[in-house]
Structure 1
Amino acid sequence: MDPNTKIAGTSLLLKPMLELLEQKHPYYRRLTNLGKSVTSFDVINVSHGFGHGSIVYKINLHFTCHSGLPPETLPVALKVPGAQIYLQQESQLHSILPDNLEERISQEISNIKAVVKEIAHIHAECIKAAAEKINDGTKKIFGKNQEVWAAMVDEFIQLIPAFIDLVSNKDKIAKDLNKIIDLAGNKEYHLWVAKEGYKELGLPTVLVHGDLWNSNVFFQNDSNREASTEVLAFIDWQLVCEGSPAADITRYLLLDADGVVRRGIEPIIFGFYINCLRSEIPSISFNETQIRKAYLYSFITQVLSLLIITVFNAKSLQHSISKNEDTALNSAKKDKIILQAIHAIEDAAIFVENELAEVVERFKHVKNSN
């Protein structure tokens, strides 16, 4: 088999992926050490048209061996970034979501709870192992990843005018963005939220995925091969770090729930998270009020990220609209993602004027570091 074969029509070649598996994947090495080699592969797109900026492929690598050992198949996942997911696949939105709005909202809330339950399980394992692995003050893991979003603040700010161009009530959005920019545009605030803010609230350090949204969540299929509310895996851990228990919850809610769903679940999700933790660690000493405050801290850091994602996705959808591709549906999707970002900005403005007023005052004179 030619190792320079392209994968799924992309510019990616099979050879570099096999070399990486040889370095990083123990079971792949075990197969090659037994004398087995990849003789063919097949690719399945498991994104099904979803995901904000990537396509996820399941690649089945088929091994054979000349020494008489039986053939074997190794499945791996490959995530290919790019906004073209909106251009490559027709949306099946109306066929996969319930017709009834209340039923759809209920289904989305069930999905969010399933994700938060898995987050709580990961956190419980971290808390149990805290003394030797994370919170001992001597061993830091993936520390630099705490600084990723802070390092991108300037780039995010440069694209704010592009977002304002998308909305009809430009003055209102500009005014709300003005209210939050002292925090959202302050790198030192981002670093404080990632490293210290949650500790000041009395929360433990846990493992943070760093980029948790639907593109990076696999749900288990049910008996009808439809996606269930059972989480199969979180993928793409390249931004993993230690940090706030609220970090992944915040990013997932902001990026994957529209204003109706997010606002509806916010009053209950932190208590749900605490109950999930207590089912594994009855003696935890923090509560939903502390988690919610940490959520508000993180909310401000993630708003600009949502805003920029919206700019890029709206541009991709507009490209399809301009080519008369599913114009009505793509226009509705574009309106929906813009409204999701508007609701997030509105809420962030309320948070900084009320519950985060003392934090705004604290960082008013703290300048960005280079």
Structure 2
Amino acid sequence: MYYDRFIGETNIPIGWVVECLKKKSEDFRLAIGNSEISNFKVIDICNNLGFSSRIYKVTINFVDNQRQPYDIVVKTPGVDNYKKLCESEIENTLANDEAINEEGLALYHYQEMLVYTEMLKEIDGLKYPKCYGGKKLIPGKQNGAIIMDDLSNKGACVPFYIPLNINQIQNLFKELMKLHVFSYTKGKQWRRKLQNKMEPNGVNFVKKFIELQWKVVQKFMPKDKFNEIDNIFNRMITHYYDITTHHIFSLPEAQGENAVIVHGDFWTNNLMFKLDSEGNITNEVESIIDWQVVYEGAVCLDMARLLSTCVTPEIRHYVENNIIPNYYQELKDKVCNGGGEFSMTYENFKHIYDFCFIDQSFHSITVTGFMLSHTEIKEEDKNIWDERKSVMSNKIYHAMKDAYEKAKILKPEWLI
């Protein structure tokens, strides 16, 4: 009987998934009708590149073969996939890092489950995958799980080596606006619930991860550019703990009533855009996914992650100079018109962004280095990838240079 079979390499029974769908999905009830389930198929759609989770696509087939198969996604957290990813020569020193454990992952998973099953439903118009149920991760006993819509026929993520365009950025800012307005108005109570923030051992792990990815960057960045910013990198990474925790715990403008609900990992792989009739990626946002590290934090953190990792320096500078000031004013107007309080000045807002950008500039290194390390490049595609690497190295180069210039003004002690 299929009810007793499990999803992939987990102990999550398919029967539980089906019962959740029957209770909470009108689409599934219409799909199954009066039929029964004949069998199901499970594939890992993240190709083993999920850092701390696996994403399974479950296709449910019916006895009545006139009925179309029904697809659903089941996300399961786990450290095993992370450890497999760290088996490469450059990363194996991280495989047994004490910061990566099931107990900590259980907290992040529970938080994400809470966000999907409860919080996101309260945010007017926000684009996210519908959720139909979740299971807690109980270390050593029970795998965690979140059941969500399969959006693969509707949307896709832009490949990490292709910069987002200005229209895509503007549409993503519209989604951030919904999250930020919610944070300052009817979602204030959620901010208090989302306090799973960066711990010291987590910071140390990220620091080591950045240093390892910097070695990857050295292999493809032009030597003159690398040598120019290597000294900047080495000085700033020494102060990484202070840099990455400053906007979380210490920066006065980012605390208290100025804090918002932060997605925390707002970059290409977690941002889906709609597909057109021919399967091409459009500029319209389909869904914001992967809310695992959501927390109460700085209002500009997500936009700093987006702009440091996903766009060309030219587009980033345009957004910083022309769109962010308008974003601030629109946010202020919407919060005040929605009955909320907003006393932050634009100078405060820009101050927060600059500190967040200094921190997030390091992630232009991590996402590029990590993804390239796990990308197989065929000999016949070498010239194409050389061009892509040039674009990515230029993004990293200017992110680090700009972070350095901001630090010279805001925190020169981070450059010693």
Describe the superposition over 1:204-246 as per-residue Cα deviations: whole angstroms up to 9, x where unpaired.
2211111111111111234555333221211111111111111
The 1-side partners of 2:23 and 2:233 are apart by 51
Alignment equivalent of 2:293, drawn from 217, 239, 243: 239
Q: Which residue of 2 aligns with 1:294?
A: 352
1:141 lines up with 2:183 in the alignment: no
The 2-side partners of 1:300 and 1:20 are apart by 45
Counterparts in 2 of 1:347 and 1:65: CA distance versus 1, 3 Å: same
Q: Which residue of 2 aligns with 1:188?
A: 242
Alignment equivalent of 2:321, drawn from 256, 267, 283: 267
Is the partner of 1:16 in helix, strand or coil? coil
1:342 lines up with 2:397 in the alignment: yes
TM-score, normalised by the number of residues in structure 2: 0.62
* Gaps in structure 1 of 5+ consecutive residues: 6-11, 84-96, 98-103, 366-370
- Is the Cα–Cα contact under 8 Å of residues 150 and 190 in structure 1 kept in the other structure? no
Whichever residue aligns with residue 253 of structure 1, its letter is L
Counterparts in 2 of 1:178 and 1:13: CA distance versus 1, 3 Å: same
Is the partner of 1:233 in helix, strand or coil? strand
The 1-side partners of 2:246 and 2:18 are apart by 33
Is the partner of 1:62 in helix, strand or coil? strand
The 2-side partners of 1:311 and 1:303 are apart by 13
Q: Which residue of 1 aligns with 2:230?
A: 174
Q: Which residue of 2 aligns with 1:324?
A: 379
The 2-side partners of 1:261 and 1:19 are apart by 47
The 2-side partners of 1:3 and 1:210 are apart by 36
- Is the Cα–Cα contact under 8 Å of residues 303 and 344 in structure 1 kept in the other structure? yes
| Greater shift in the superposed pair: 243-252 or 13-22 | 13-22
* Gaps in structure 2 of 5+ consecutive residues: 87-157
- Count of aligned pairs: 320
Q: Which residue of 2 aligns with 1:19?
A: 13
- Is the Cα–Cα contact under 8 Å of residues 180 and 299 in structure 2 kept in the other structure? yes
Q: Percent identity?
A: 18
Counterparts in 2 of 1:220 and 1:171: CA distance versus 1, 3 Å: closer
Describe the superposition over 1:141-160 as per-residue Cα deviations: whole angstroms up to 9, x where unpaired.
24235764564123323554
Whichever residue aligns with residue 382 of structure 2, its letter is T
- Is the Cα–Cα contact under 8 Å of residues 171 and 284 in structure 2 kept in the other structure? yes
Q: Which residue of 2 aligns with 1:127?
A: 184
The 2-side partners of 1:38 and 1:194 are apart by 50
Aligned-residue CA RMSD (Å): 4.5
The 2-side partners of 1:280 and 1:286 are apart by 14
The 2-side partners of 1:21 and 1:109 are apart by 44
Alignment equivalent of 2:57, drawn from 56, 59, 65: 59
Counterparts in 2 of 1:37 and 1:110: CA distance versus 1, 3 Å: same
| Greater shift in the superposed pair: 279-288 or 291-300 | 279-288
TM-score, normalised by the number of residues in structure 1: 0.69
